[in-house]
Amino acid sequence: MSDSSITTDTSHDIVKHTESVYVYEAPVRIWHWVNALAITVLCVTGYFIGAPLPTMPGDPSSSYLMGYIRFAHFASGYVLAVGMLGRIYWALVGNHHAKQLFIPPVSKEHIKGMIHEARWYAFLEKESVKCVGHNPLAQAAMFTMFVFGTFFMIITGFALYGEGTGMGSWQYNMFSSWVIPLFGQSQDVHTFHHLGMWFLIVFIMAHVYAAIREDIMSRQSMVSTMISGWRMFKDNRP
Amino acid sequence: MAKIETFYEVMRRQGITRRSFLKYCSLTAASLGLSPAFAPKIAHAMETKPRLPVLWLHGLECTCCSESFIRSAHPLAKDVILSMLSLDYDDTIMAAAGHQAESIIEETIKKYDGQFLLAVEGNAPLNQDGMSMIIAGKPFSEQLNRVSQHCKAIISWGSCASWGCVQAASPNPTHAVPTHKHPGIANKPIIKVPGCPPIAEVMTAVIAYMITFDKIPSLDRQGRPKMFYSQRIHDKCYRRPHFDAGQFVEEYDDEYARKGYCLYKVGCKGPTTYNACSTIRWNEGTSFPIQAGHGCIGCSEDGFWDKGSFYDRLSGIHQFGIESNADEVGGTAAAIVGGAIAVHAAASAIKSATNKADQGDK
């Protein structure tokens, strides 16, 4: 799967010598961008559900603004949830890079790599490591912020949605029936669902910034990799 | 067991006609969400079953539950409801007082062991050995445990008995605990009827259901009767079309408030509150808070005193200052991260510029 010979360190694929590697298969790339769009719609509509736009004038039968905003939110929520299920399936059947998202970064190698990356971001290291998949710090952020955050939002989101669909609906039975008693009452679930949004927004800000910065300053391609699937390396040094 | 009058006998003795009695039965069936076919069943139960003895104990409370209960606008109102139950002990409204009153508890336990209902209004404080709530020289806590050992089922009236309410609000100096968390309470079914106070018709209907069907109503996971607590105020609110249209009261005294738009933006807790106010309403179905122009404060929800302002739809997060909420905390975090990114980006740009300059020197 590479243009030239490669040797990889199995722990987190530190590349010794190569030019480009096919990393992200098509389903992963499609999922990434669909997911990004869904999260954007969810954040914007979610914010306007919590803090609605100024009052619409006229007869209530002539507008359905909150209804449409909520519909967009629920529809994107389904896209996010179904996409996550599809992504989990692909982690099982796709290449080994597809699994990386769901692997908690706990090995010794990992922690060493994370420290190196942290030092790189703190301008204490001259060069970043070469990674085929995520760098160790990115993997940690992906797992603790993105995967955890998204699952949290899917679970609390369906719990809140199930309140509307009502007792007896599958959303209520599978989510609301245990999530709401777990938090105590509905208001706290709402509160944590809002906090979850900000948690994901903070992740997205860091994610987008780091991807662009790495694209410019590190030794490998970033943004184009999520479009073409190929990781390009800028030099042949290990 | 002593022979007690049936409900029907009591009603007739009080001068209620059979016609009114049957009306009452069909209205009860309707309020319980049952089909008309159940009206004769209710009538049959009322005609044949002895009155259900009830001991109504009062802990730390404000009596709003009793006040609500005696205003039940249910067809045959208070006197029948009160006779329907053989309300053997209720220190607020009973004629007996002192030792005479207290002896009724023992008498009921002896006569109807395992057959009477225990209704608890308020709750028991545990700190200072329960000294904050003394009845007949003993902590209420002891009375509650003793009676609970002998009852058939327990009804927790109101938010106090169901969740703790104001006396259990932080910092809860007397350590007041709701019925189901009371140490030593008997392992009997507990029916929570929360609200501050609960709706009168809900209270009477819960009892009517238990008399008619001889079983406790079906409860949700938090122990509330599903027939009244399965939907939020918001789900059945008559202002809901304004919510869906995006028409909100922006301030309490604005034009939209006069037009009766949705109170969501001024902090109505209808979307997070499970109760039947928007369908049954209060005072003979006259009104309920939202109809009167004020948002719901969520009085039937667990811990409603401790979740920030009555006018905020999100819980307060006090770790970040008294009045902060999730959006303020989250927005601040996002702003800090955004600032950090800007600084880091600038530093990165300088760093790569100097690196290039270094390489150029070589």
Residue B77 has a pLDDT of 45
Mean pLDDT, all residues of chain B: 86
pLDDT bin (cut points 50, 70, 90) of residue B84 is low
So what's the ipTM on this one?
0.85
Distance CA B157, CA B171 (A): 23
Residue A126 has a pLDDT of 78
Residue of chain B minimizing CA distance to A199 = B330
Q: Do A55 and B244 touch (CB under 8 A)?
A: no
Min distance B41 CA to chain A CA atoms (Å): 27
Q: Based on the structure, what is the number of domains in chain A?
A: 1
Residue B166: how many CB atoms within 10 A of its CB? 17
- Residue B205, pLDDT > 70, answer yes
Per-residue pLDDT tens digits for B248-283: 999 999 999 999 999 999 999 999 999 999 998 998
Candidates A66, A212, A222, partner chain B, best to mutate (most B CBs within 10 A)? A66
pLDDT bin (cut points 50, 70, 90) of residue B75 is very low
Contact B181, B123 (CB under 8 A): no
Residue B78 has a pLDDT of 53
Structural domain span for residue A29: 8-232
Q: Does B230 touch chain A (CB under 8 A)?
A: yes
Residue B21 has a pLDDT of 83
Q: Do A205 and B301 touch (CB under 8 A)?
A: no
Contact A220, B343 (CB under 8 A): no
Residue A2 has a pLDDT of 42
Collect all residues of chain A within an 8 Å Cβ-Cβ radius of residue B222.
180-181
Asked if residue A3 belongs to a domain, the reply is no
Alpha-carbon torsion (B208, B212, B213, B214), positive or negative: positive
Contact B304, B159 (CB under 8 A): yes
- Residue B105, pLDDT > 70, answer yes
- Size of the A and B interface in Cβ pairs below 8 Å: 133
Distance CA B28, CA A72 (A): 42
Contact A213, A222 (CB under 8 A): no
Per-residue pLDDT tens digits for B221-241: 899 999 899 999 999 999 999
Instruction: Specify the 3-state DSSP secondary structure of B45.
Output: helix
pLDDT, mean of residues B321-345: 84
Residue B1 has a pLDDT of 44
Distance set, CA B193 to CA A12, B123, B257 (Å): 57, 14, 31
User: Along the 238 residues of chain A, how does pLDDT read in single tens digits?
Assistant: 444 444 444 445 555 555 788 889 999 999 999 999 999 999 999 999 999 999 988 888 889 999 999 999 999 999 999 999 999 999 999 998 888 889 887 888 888 888 888 888 888 887 777 778 888 888 888 998 999 999 999 999 999 999 999 888 999 999 999 999 999 889 999 999 999 999 999 999 999 999 998 888 888 888 888 988 888 887 777 6
Contact B203, B68 (CB under 8 A): yes
Residue B320 has a pLDDT of 67
The DSSP string of B134-202 is: EETTEEHHHHHHHHHHH-SEEEEEHHHHHT-TGGGSTT-TT-EE-GGGSTT--S--EEEE-SSS--HHH
Distance CA B1, CA A85 (A): 62
Per-residue pLDDT tens digits for A7-51: 444 445 555 555 788 889 999 999 999 999 999 999 999 999 999
Residue A234 has a pLDDT of 79
Residue B239: φ, ψ to 5°: -90, 5
Higher pLDDT, B186 or B318: B186
Q: CB burial class (10 A; 0-12, 13-18, 19+) of residue A118?
A: middle
Q: Do B334 and A205 touch (CB under 8 A)?
A: yes
Q: Does A10 touch chain B (CB under 8 A)?
A: no
Nearest to B241 among A50, A60, A195 (CB): A60
At A155, which CATH number?
1.20.950.20
Collect all residues of chain B within an 8 Å Cβ-Cβ radius of residue A123.
347-348, 351
Residue B51 has a pLDDT of 77
Lowest mean pLDDT among A93-102, A182-191, B17-26, B156-165: B17-26
Contact B268, B274 (CB under 8 A): no
Residue B136 has a pLDDT of 85
Collect all residues of chain A within an 8 Å Cβ-Cβ radius of residue B337.
202, 205-206
Distance CA A199, CA A195 (A): 6
Q: Does B281 touch chain A (CB under 8 A)?
A: no
Orientation of helix B38-48 relative to helix B18-31, angle to 10°: 120
Residue A6 has a pLDDT of 46
pTM reported for the whole predicted model: 0.86
Residue B29 has a pLDDT of 80
Q: Do A190 and B272 touch (CB under 8 A)?
A: yes
- Residue B80, pLDDT > 60, answer no
Distance CA B187, CA B153 (A): 9
Candidates A45, A55, A69, partner chain B, best to mutate (most B CBs within 10 A)? A55
Residue B81 has a pLDDT of 55
